Amino acid sequence: MEIKINGKKYKANEGDVILDVCRREGIRIPTLCNFPFEEGEFKKETICRLCLVEVNLTDKLVPSCAFPVCSSLEVTTESEKIKKAREINMELLWSDHAGKCVKCKKNRMCELQSLAEEYKIDNFHFIPRKEDLTNTEELDLLKDNKTRVVVEEENPAICRTTEFCIECRRCINVCPERKFGFNHRAGDVIVGTPYEKVLECSFCGECVRVCPVAALTDKNNFSEITEKLDDIKKIAVALVAEGMEEKIKKQLLIMGYQKEPREILKSLGFEKIFDFSEKDAQDEGLDDFKVQLSRKEKINMEDIILFYISSNISLKKEKIANLDYILSEREIARLARDKKII
Amino acid sequence: MNIKDNLKIITEHWGKINPLKIRDYIDVGGYEAIRKFIEKMKPEEAIEEIKKSGLVGRGGAGFSTGEKWEAVKKNKGEKYFICNLDESEPGTYKDRAIVDNNPHLLLEGIIISALAIDAKKAYIYINGRYIKQREILEKAVLEAASNKFIGKGIINSHYDLEIEIFSGAGAYICGEETALINSIEGKRGEPKFRPPYPTETGLWGKPTLVNNAETVSNIPWIIINGGKKYSEIGSAVSPGTKLYVLGGAVRNSGVFEGPTGMTIGAVIDKLGGGLKKGKELWFSQIGGSSGRLVLENELDNSLTFNKKSEIPLGSGAVFVFDKHSDIYDFLLSIAGFFRRESCGKCVPCREGTFRLYEITERMKDGEISERDKEAIKDILWTLNNTTFCPFGKFAAVAFLDAVEKLKILDL
């Protein structure tokens, strides 16, 4: 069938929603609760209210991520009303989040940040200013807001900080083990585990991958890592898992850079870089690599810092002997960003 | 006042019978409607009568009850009936009064409604804070079962029905059908995206009919007296009687039954006995916390469930404010209510109601800045236009009216 978007005709398939057609045709619609990647069926939450568009069937704004196409449908994706809706909702989200971008792990990789830039969110008129506050009640309210923050870093692989969370529910939907859910209600809502217990799962890392902000991030001691990478007495060795180069490339593209992953790794301070397939892992084993290398190259074991570059963060749980760090594509990008390589 | 104005359908036996004794209810003609339905009618005929009656949902939305029944009935297989007794609109307690005074009328309505759509199981979703009412209903269900009105082979017919009382956890949003269904299924109480509608995919994925307790209480009368007779009561667009809940500066506060289509002035004067001595009318709020505010010059508006009506009847609550009421107190209580009760699912409602409450607090304390005024304007707009479910709209109604009609802010 054919539908009209912004006055032009486009092909649409039975069962499509408006957003499907727009993504195929390269028509920009901002989304947060919906996945920006095409990776199979994803639950339509329709809760961020950023993808609202106008259609000829109703006066109301409709969520393009859930509104099914039909013949004679006419869609408008940009108008004063739509712009206003997106701006206000973006600012509301931003008001509950803003302030720490420069030190944030996801700086320049954050979807909320780039949307805020796109929509030029600068007048924070929802946040009370000090001169507006007239009694202690309001200060209590602010304090109350802070006490709701849950930080959990006790699990082996994932840092969780609800302070950055925008309650988009991607992690809730993507988790194959259904570990997350909404706790509390209204403005007190936080995404967490049942009874706020420490996260216990297989650590597939899907939630970290889909989190648009820094609410879920990889766990690693970053200052220690940068220190060791810079240490000239140590030899930093990178084992790059299969398919990681592609992933790193993609991650760099999110930040607007097109660079060769190998180059990036070299500039980060990795002296030796090896490809390491799953077959290698079975044949040699990750725990044996350092031993072999130390024998072959005649280097002290203590001077080798072995990094495994892989998305498989579940290995962190296993505490593999003679393997020092596991770095994901996100962390490579973050290291590159911090070192001002990109 | 013509004779029909005095007609009582729901409140007829209130105060005259013992609500804890089924015998009392049977003696005044109770459970006759079930007998008539089972012995003399086919389910389709009953649905036809309800359609003819023009009965619409009393929860506030005003959707045609007959059409809803038909939509569920036409589906095959397992179905459920749910009586929505989650009443949590501030200032509204009509459903509670029904249970307090005549629980068997409600049960009779539930049984007929469930059987008419071929449901074998009915739920009563009751507000978690209605503890006494739950006990009354439990006793009523037991008594009705021992009199063979519930269970296997109702009064020796082929009809079976099981009734389960389910207490909510006291969330306002669970009065919304899809959130209510989520709640019974043990999920988080928050609305679901529609379509699919509960009439097709409802509780446990089966077609489900959800009716308000007051709606259900009208059913026995319609079955006995016929749909045509019911359709002649009150206003033509949404016929029947309505329970009005009066409160505030009126002389008589409480639950009163009157025909639909009464003017606001008539509700205040005839049912409420006018204002209390020494009180002066400023405005009134119609339909609970999510209702419109009306000034003195709008008292001639008649109250119906018409979608186009300026002042929707909502839950039927009429709260009258005296000239000396503190408007900021009122707005703060409304903002606080919606801030507390928002489910937190969508951005504009979760963040908007929270910010609105903050600003209202400042408003109550004194002057607010131009920046805050801008913020109020934006929040009200986004609540009105972009939220996931109508809850956001509700949160904005009273504020918008206070700004427009009472001119509390110079926006």
Statement: residue A4 has pLDDT above 80? yes
Packing angle, helices B213-225 and B32-40, rounded to 10:
60
Question: Is the Cβ–Cβ distance between A329 and A240 less than 8 Å?
Answer: no
Q: Are residues B291 and B336 in the same domain?
A: no
Q: How far is B183 from chain A (nearest CA, A)?
A: 14
- Is A191 in contact with A200 (CB distance < 8 Å)? no
Question: Are B191 and B337 within one domain?
Answer: no
In this structure, which long-range contacts are made by residues B139-143, counting pairs with CB atoms below 8 Å and at least 24 apart in sequence? Answer: B139/B20, B140/B19, B140/B20, B140/B22, B140/B103, B140/B104, B140/B107, B141/B107, B141/B165, B143/B21, B143/B22, B143/B104
**B171 & B227 share domain:** yes
Which runs of E-coded beta strand occur in B38-110? 80-85
pLDDT, tens digit (0-9, with 9 covering 90-100), for A64-89? 999 999 989 999 999 999 999 999 99
For residues B122 and B110, give the distance between their C-alpha atoms in angstroms, rounded to a whole number.
Answer: 8
pLDDT score recorded for residue A309: 92
CATH number at residue B124: 3.40.50.11540
**pLDDT of chain B, 411 residues: tens digit per residue:** 343 557 899 999 999 999 999 999 999 999 999 999 999 999 999 999 999 999 999 988 889 999 999 999 999 999 999 999 999 988 899 999 999 999 999 999 999 999 999 999 999 999 999 999 999 999 999 999 999 999 999 999 999 999 999 999 889 999 999 999 999 999 999 999 888 899 999 999 999 999 999 999 999 999 999 999 999 998 888 999 999 999 999 999 999 999 999 999 999 999 999 999 999 999 999 988 889 999 999 999 999 888 888 888 888 999 999 999 999 999 999 999 999 999 999 999 999 999 999 889 888 877 788 888 889 999 999 999 999 998 999 999 999 999 888 888 776
SS3 A207: helix
Residues A163 and A214: their CA atoms lie apart, in Å, by 9
pLDDT at A322: 87
State the smallest CA–CA distance between residue A227 and chain B in angstroms.
41
pLDDT value at residue B3:
39
What is the Cα B162 distance to its own chain's centre? 24
Is A19 touching B (CB cutoff 8 A)? no
Does the beta carbon of B347 lie under 8 angstroms from any beta carbon of chain A?
yes
pLDDT score for B105: 96
What pLDDT does residue A139 have? Answer: 63
* Cβ contacts of A47 on chain B, cutoff 8 Å: 345-347, 388
Residue type, B262: M
pLDDT at residue B349, rounded to an integer: 94
Is B12 contained in some domain?
no
Do B102 and B180 belong together in one domain? yes
Q: Is A43 touching B (CB cutoff 8 A)? A: no
CB contact residues (below 8 A), chain B span 383-402, against chain A:
385-388
B89 and B227 together in one domain: yes
The 8-class DSSP code of residue A59 comes to S
Q: At what angle do helices B347-365 and B327-341 cross, to 10 degrees?
A: 150
What's the confidence (pLDDT) of residue A213? 93
Alpha carbon distance A172, A251 (integer Å): 22
**The domain containing residue B245 runs over which residues?**
241-322
Segment B122-143, tens digit of pLDDT: 999 999 999 999 999 999 999 9
Q: Which of A244, A243, A171 is nearest to A203 (CA)?
A: A171
Distance from CA of B361 to the nearest CA of A (A): 8
Distance from CA of A332 to the nearest CA of B (A): 32
Shortest Cα distance, chain B CAs vs residue A26, angstroms:
24
Contacts of A49 in chain B (CB under 8 A): 346-348, 386-388
- % chain A with pLDDT above 70: 91
User: Has residue B10 been placed in a domain?
Assistant: no
Q: Would you say B165 and B81 are in contact if contact means Cβ atoms under 8 Å apart? A: no
Largest alpha-carbon pair distance within chain B? Answer: 71
Structural domain includes residue B1: no
Is there a single domain that holds both residue B204 and residue B312? Answer: no
CB A108 within 8 A of CB B332: no
- The CA dihedral of B269, B271, B275, B280, to the nearest 10 degrees, is -60
**B56 plus B197 within the same structural domain:** yes
Q: Are B353 and B383 in contact (CB under 8 A)?
A: yes
Last residue of a domain, one of B322, B348, B370: B322
Statement to judge: residues B92 and B204 lie in one domain? yes
Shortest distance between the Cα of A32 and any Cα of chain B, in A, equals 11
How far is C-alpha B205 from the geometric centre of its chain's CA atoms?
Answer: 24
Which residue has better confidence, A260 or A279? A260
Query: B368 and A132 in contact by Cβ < 8 A?
Result: yes
Q: Of B322, B351, B382, which residue sits at a domain end?
A: B322
- Considering the domain boundaries, does residue B145 fall inside one? yes
pLDDT of residue A185: 85
Closest chain A residue to the Cα of B382, Cα to Cα: A85
Indicate yes or no: CB of B385 within 8 angstroms of CB of A46.
no
Which amino acid appears at position B140 of this protein?
A: A
Q: Answer whether residue B124 is part of any domain.
A: yes
Which of B176, B345, B370, B394 to mutate against chain A (most A CBs within 10 Å)? B345
Helix axes B391-404, B370-386, angle to 10 degrees: 140
- Domain of B393, CATH number, reads 1.20.1440.230
Phi-psi region of A17 (alpha: psi -120 to 50; beta: other; left: phi over 0): beta
State which of B269, B296, B322 marks the end of a domain. B322
**pLDDT grade for A142, boundaries at 50, 70 and 90:** low
- Chain B contact for A130 (CB, 8 A cutoff): no
Which whole number is the average pLDDT over A26-42?
76
Could you read off the pLDDT of A282-326 as tens digits, one per residue?
Answer: 777 788 888 888 899 888 888 999 999 999 898 888 888 888 999
Asked whether residue B225 falls in the same domain as residue B81, the answer is: yes
- Number of CB atoms found within 10 A of residue B280's CB: 11
Flag whether B90 is in a domain.
yes
CB contact at 8 A, B237 and B306: yes
- Residues near A145 by Cβ (< 8 Å), separated by ≥ 6? none
What is the percent of chain B with per-residue pLDDT over 70, rounded to a whole number? 99
What is the pLDDT, as a whole number, of residue B284?
Answer: 94
The span from the CA of B379 to the CA of B359, in Å, is 11
Same domain flag for B169 and B117: yes
CATH number of residue B295's parent domain: 3.10.20.600
Residue A90 has pLDDT above 50, yes or no: yes
Domain assignment present for residue B399? The answer is yes
B386 vs A contacts (CB less than 8 Å) = 49, 52, 61, 85, 88-89
Residue B82 near residue B334, CB atoms below 8 Å:
no
Min distance A254 CA to chain B CA atoms (Å): 25
Q: How far is B350 from chain A (nearest CA, A)?
A: 5
**B27 shares a domain with B144:** yes
Q: Are B211 and B56 in contact (CB under 8 A)?
A: no
For residues A8 and A18, give the distance between their C-alpha atoms in angstroms, rounded to a whole number. Answer: 14
For residues A167-182, average pLDDT:
91
CB pairs under 8 A between A and B: 115
State how far the alpha carbon of A143 is from the alpha carbons of A136, B200, B341, in Å: 10, 46, 21
B358: nearest CB among A44, A141, A181: A141
- Touching check for A144 and chain B: CB below 8 Å? no
CB atoms near residue A118 (< 10 Å)? 12
Tokens of B287: 């339909």
Asked if A125 lies within 8 A of B375 by C-beta distance, the reply is yes
User: What is the distance between the alpha carbons of residues B119 and B207, in angstroms, rounded to a whole number?
Assistant: 9
The H-or-E segment that residue A325 falls in is: strand A325-327
Tell me the CA distances in angstroms from B407 to A66, B61, B295, B404, one per residue in order. 39, 28, 12, 6
Do both B173 and B301 map to the same domain?
A: no
Cα B368 from chain centroid? Answer: 36
Q: What's the predicted TM-score (pTM) here?
A: 0.90
User: Is A185 in Cβ contact with B347 (below 8 Å)?
Assistant: no
A92–B348: do the CB atoms touch at under 8 Å?
yes
Would you say residue B2 lies in a domain? Answer: no
Contact indicator for A103, A82 with CB cutoff of 8 Å: no
Residues 352-371 of B with CB under 8 A from A: 352-355, 358-359, 361-362, 365-366, 368-369, 371
Disruptive mutation site among A84, A86, A88, A93 for chain B (greatest number of B CBs within 10 Å): A88
* pLDDT, position A136: 64
Count of domains forming chain B: 3
